Amino acid sequence: MNLTISGHHLEVTPALREYVLTKLDRVTRHFDQVVDVNVLLTVEKLKEKERRQRAEVTLHVKGRDIFVEQSHEDLYAAIDQLMDKLDRQVVRYKDRVQEHHHMAPKRLGAGAE
């Protein structure tokens, strides 16, 4: 899994990097076929009182890219909410990809004779 963590208008500190890694572990535990992860942490400088922290993740899995973004006043809270969203989308994607076709009971009995 290739992981890229970058910051826009902020420096990605080791503590911030470690926080993102621990949160990503939950997602990769559900789905191990992750090829590439790009994380972008941004500080939007609108006004001094209205600083918005934004976190974005692009998760490349086999056959699809999953993009999630979240904004909050606190960057750690934005990362938490972002990983919750990402986790839901990965579980939903994994559920769609899995084989859901089951053999009908009539067919099982007919083949045994």
Write the CATH number for 18: 3.30.160.100
How many folded domains does the chain comprise?
1
pLDDT band for position 22 (cuts 50, 70, 90): very high
**Residue 31: per-residue pLDDT:** 78
Residue 81 belongs to domain spanning: 2-112
pLDDT surpasses 60 at 111? no
Q: How many residues does the chain have?
A: 113
Percent of the chain at pLDDT > 90 equals: 53
pLDDT surpasses 70 at 102? no
pLDDT surpasses 70 at 107? no
Residues 6 or more apart from 37 whose CB is under 8 A from it?
Answer: 1, 2, 3, 4, 24, 57, 58, 59, 60
